[in-house]
Structure 1
Amino acid sequence: MTDIVTQPTVVIVHGAWTDASSFGGVQQLLTKSGYNVLEFANPLRSLAGDADYLATFLETRTRGPVLLVGHSYGGAVIGAAAAAVSRVTGLVYVNAFVPTEGESLLDLLNSAGPVDPSQLFDMAPYPGAPEGDVDLYIQRGPFEPAFATGLSEELQAEFFAKQRPITFSAVGAPAAAVQGWEKLPSWYVAGTIDGSIPLSLQLRMAERAGSAVTQLETGHLSMVTHPREVADVILAAAATGAERA
């Protein structure tokens, strides 16, 4: 068993249109394997602000080494936060964005093919928004093929109903100058039928980061449809983090 003194705390960072419960099955498997797991409530308000908040969360709620796990937009958040917290030992990207300096999520998506937000999202003003900013909700039509591939009809309905929106400004914000993957080992779980982030883009980002890649025949929510396989990647990364600590 991994040394309980040096094993990392696993901190999970969910992405847009969902919450920490999407990692429920993965979290249970990690906990049963003896790891301390924390699930960060990602605000989904601004890339820089969300990353700063995660860094503060790590400094106040963890001790010792930390392994960060990010899904989708959460990948951009963990990359920035890891650069600010020296105790982070590794990064696990799950169907995630891995930007480099100056890239936004929209930039990355458009690099794989034109994206028209008006065909994907309902756009809702929110209190205190900067001029022109809106919250994004996935429309019902594209929800299953873009986001919920592989889920039962019941789960699709549940995830659609409880969407946590992300701001348009967050997906358009440029990434920070320094990214954690530039100096830390990383792992990438790629969904081969992901309707949100094309496989070619996932693999390109993972290669740039030097990530160890695991491909699963899954859509965007691989942690929901394949919790065992995702947990196994995290456990392998956590064991490496314990050795580095």
Structure 2
Amino acid sequence: MTGTATTPTIVIVHGAWTDASSFTGVQHLLTEQGYQVLEFANPLRSFVGDADYLATFLKTRTSGPVVLVGHSYGGAVIGAAAAATDTVTGLVYVNAFVPAEGESLLDLLNSAGPVDPSKLFDMAPYPGAPEGDLDLYIQRGPFEPAFATGLSEELQAEFFAKQRPITFSAVGAPAAAGQAWEKLPSWYVAGTVDGSVPLPLQLRMAERAGSTVTQVETGHLSMVTHPREVADVIIAAATSGDVA
């Protein structure tokens, strides 16, 4: 168990097409400041299942207050999981989705402009999939402009090679009632040149959630390109007067 009565544990939840290593720079900066940091291995299999898994992780791997950090799809997961626990005291969204009841990630993206999955993703069957479900991998062509903007060619190649797929059903599943951002304080890191989650959509979701917004001139992987700015926002959340 980690965490104390006064200092929150930082639990980081990565999004689709990457893994916990995308937050390595942020984790190092937080650890240097004395924070306990846990990085959740997001299954990326189903919205409800991933949120339930995170809620169980929080109950078994932490004690005391928790600040939850979610990137991209991870933002949707933390909003659902935190509603099922009573230890989360703040939410930090990093280029993230913040759905309201009934909204899916696809709904939110289409509200910002039509999305054609066939032009973005390679789709692959996976064992045990529900009928019609598929794994989604970002195609090589749109990988840099949509996902890896601002990364060196070497890092682009690395992230493309190790991308972890998400299921089509996970991005199409609607959020349940009672999202945690409706009650908890939140902070939002918005990438101004994000090719995955357009800035106007990021700002609209952040405003609806009442989040404290920090805009950073970066693409979708702001925690990779600007770890200091992201870490600073997490520290602000962890030291806020709203955190017991």
| TM-score bracket, shorter-length normalisation | over 0.9
- 1:205 aligns with 205
By how many angstroms is 1:176 displaced?
1.1
CA distance in 2, matches of 1:47, 1:5: 31
By how many angstroms is 1:178 displaced?
1.1
Answering whether residue 139 of structure 2 is matched by residue 101 of structure 1, we say: no
Which residue identity is paired with 1:244?
V
- 2:177 aligns with 177
More displaced, 4-13 or 192-201?
Answer: 4-13
CA distance in 2, matches of 1:159, 1:244: 34
Answering whether residue 7 of structure 2 is matched by residue 7 of structure 1, we say: yes
CA distance in 2, matches of 1:186, 1:41: 22
CA distance in 2, matches of 1:176, 1:80: 7
Give deviations 1:1-25, integer Å, cap 9, x for gaps.
xx96411000000000000000000
Any runs of at least 4 consecutive aligned residues in structure 1 with deviations exceeding 6 A, and if so which? none
Would the aligned equivalents of 2:79 and 2:180 in 1 still touch at CA under 8 Å? Answer: yes
- 1:231 aligns with 231
Which residue identity is paired with 2:243?
R
Which residue identity is paired with 2:143?
F
- 1:59 aligns with 59
Which residue identity is paired with 2:94?
V
CA distance in 2, matches of 1:192, 1:86: 33
Which residue identity is paired with 2:225?
T
- 2:221 aligns with 221
CA distance in 2, matches of 1:43, 1:112: 27
By how many angstroms is 1:240 displaced?
1.3
Which residue identity is paired with 1:79?
G
Answering whether residue 113 of structure 2 is matched by residue 113 of structure 1, we say: yes
CA distance in 1, matches of 2:243, 2:144: 40
Give deviations 1:144-200, integer Å, cap 9, x for gaps.
000000000000000000010000000000001110000000000000000000000
Would the aligned equivalents of 2:90 and 2:243 in 1 still touch at CA under 8 Å? Answer: no
**Count of equivalent residues:** 242
Which residue identity is paired with 1:223?
M
Answering whether residue 7 of structure 2 is matched by residue 38 of structure 1, we say: no
Give deviations 1:78-121, integer Å, cap 9, x for gaps.
00001011110000000000000010000000000000000000
CA distance in 2, matches of 1:7, 1:139: 42
- 2:151 aligns with 151
CA distance in 1, matches of 2:243, 2:117: 42
Q: TM-score, normalised by structure 1?
A: 0.97
Give deviations 1:208-238, integer Å, cap 9, x for gaps.
0000000000000000000000000000000
- 1:244 aligns with 243
SS in 2 for 1:91: strand
Which residue identity is paired with 2:127?
P
SS in 2 for 1:189: strand
SS in 2 for 1:130: coil
Would the aligned equivalents of 2:8 and 2:65 in 1 still touch at CA under 8 Å? Answer: yes
CA distance in 2, matches of 1:98, 1:4: 28
CA distance in 1, matches of 2:5, 2:86: 18
Which residue identity is paired with 1:69?
V
Q: TM-score, normalised by structure 2?
A: 0.98
- 2:135 aligns with 135
* Percent identical: 86
CA distance in 1, matches of 2:7, 2:186: 17
SS in 1 for 2:193: coil
Which residue identity is paired with 2:49?
G
CA distance in 2, matches of 1:153, 1:176: 39
